[in-house]
Homo-oligomer: A and B are copies of this chain.
């Protein structure tokens, strides 16, 4: 590829980006699109209540939103979009910082060295091949390789310093988030699974007896989790009975009285009201304990949510081995209510290790099987091969138009479509894995997609050749550095165009939310349906984080090999920082994505160093290679240090923090109130996976808010309960409230 061709490609992509961004800045001002962009950006919140008048200004693209996005403080973002958004932004900030340094070093020092690596006459730059900018242009045993080695040192050391500071900063943010946020029922609750059955005791009594016996001073109550089949009959009966009375349908206009944050997503009623109502059902059922059906239902309970009086007691119960059989009485801190992944709660604990192994194996197999569509796509590009494979198509293929479509257009569509299957499939794997929380599932999917991306985008493209060639990397690990060193610089142009198309253009199409826009248009103007305007776009961390980390990987690995990619990446990160900054969260991961990000970036650094060692080996510069090995050891030690210093902060709550929180609540007298709400917090039935229902989005702060008004609004309550109960049809499992204060 020539330098001029690269400039052309960049020009086209810049035009596309400008077009998309202008479109966005116009579309977001149209009132009927508020629902699409609503909830996405803090800066847009004030558009929410804007009137529907028409003005010419609405049709002009403006850049005000960029300024607003830029001036959002992190604290504002955290309050609206949660800690995860902050962590996500910090990833961008880290990327911008490190690639500014890297660009400075590589563009102004390494690039000229590469360019003058061989004694050759250069024409004017645009006519040169891009290879003159890469390390390939350096002759063997050149002293100039020391420049690359030093540049690697500068990049690695500044990356480590920045990473350390980010880790420290985010740890502090996380601690502040844990201690600063309103009481979270998840902190008081432990999920106990694998409860041993007893023949002469109800499971309910078994649970109570166990926790009263061993955690008597701190045990508050518990809630059993039931499989759908058993509780469903009861719900069905209740539903039939109440459907006769209520036919109230709430109009959307009535709901916007309060800020969205303190309202339940579906119907605007306070969550506590229908919980209270549900408790009446439960009371009725409690008398039924002599009923053999109920006894049978109890026997099929996969676990229970156990509530404790203090956070510390819950932490202790979750950390300590409960029974001398580690497969019984397994306790984990429960996720917060909106984060619970209900349909996985019923999975017997003894299956989980098997599920984890199976999904791991399936993901690995899928990762390797995915080489097949790639190879198929490569084979589709040759008309002759196609003719041989499908003789019946010979007639069509002879027409030049069809041939061009089939060989030119279909391959990339096939590849793109098969790539689109990855996130849902990985999400499915992560669901099967048995995570009890949505955030855990998303984190697991994020990791899987990350591995997939690094393997199928980076390695498969670098080692592009036969499938066998790719597998050889694993069968001959010793030769990997030199093999990568030979192949990586060759792919520089491919990855530059990849950054332009998959980075810039897809980022700008992302902001338009084409899918939601079209969906909204259809539902609003064609189906005339107003129900779905509450749709809140939940940010897909599991697809975006791996993408950004992949670009980081590309940036590091190409930094000293082919520095031309760096400015394009830097632009991508800056765009990303402005575009992807604020989303309302469905649930909070508590910044747990950062350790994944940190480890991936360190992996990228190590990979860069391994490739550099390979380059120095090929170029016969063993001393530079030796220094790089030193750097590699240093990087690994740095990572180990960070792991010891920070990782546990993201895994566990410290005694000091939770005890202080408990004391604060006790001294301020809030504890009683928290306990009261705790028993209701998990009693709501969850909506299904479909994000068009917001029932699980009840901000948990609300449950703690105003307990005094609980008894009012009885007619609306009725309506909500029915809605609620009928929704239960769609869900797999239902939590049944069985609260017993000690």
Contacts and interface: CB of A to CB of B under 8 A. Distances in A.
Interface of A: 175, 213-215, 315-316, 319-327, 329, 353-354, 357, 474-479, 637, 640-641, 644-649, 652-657, 659
A316 B320 contact: yes
B316 A653 contact: no
Contacts of A323: 654-656
B214 A326 contact: no
Contacts of A327: 644-645
A321 B648 contact: yes
Contacts of A659: 213-214
A321 B327 CA distance: 23
Question: Which 9 A/B pairs are nearest by Cβ-Cβ distance?
Answer: A475-B478, A326-B648, A321-B654, A324-B654, A319-B319, A321-B652, A320-B655, A353-B644, A316-B316
A641 B353 contact: yes
A616 B589 CA distance: 49
Most buried by B among A325, A640, A655: A655
Contacts of A476: 475-476
A486 to B, nearest CB: 18
Contacts of A640: 353-354, 357
A324 B656 contact: yes
Contacts of A319: 316, 319-320
Contacts of A654: 320-324, 326
B324 A175 contact: yes
Contacts of A652: 320-321
A326 B646 contact: yes
A655 B477 contact: no
Nearest to A361: B633
A195 to B, nearest CB: 13
Contact of A321 (B215, B322, B655): B655
A655 B214 contact: yes
Most buried by B among A320, A327, A479: A320
Contacts of A647: 326
Given A320-B654, A321-B655, 17 more contacts: A213-B659, A316-B316, A316-B319, A316-B320, A319-B319, A320-B652, A321-B653, A322-B655, A322-B656, A324-B656, A325-B649, A326-B648, A326-B649, A353-B641, A353-B644, A354-B640, A475-B477
Contacts of A321: 648, 652-655
A260 to B, nearest CB: 32
Contacts of A655: 214-215, 320-323
Contacts of A214: 655-656, 659
8 contacts: A316-B319, A319-B320, A320-B654, A321-B653, A322-B655, A322-B656, A323-B654, A326-B644
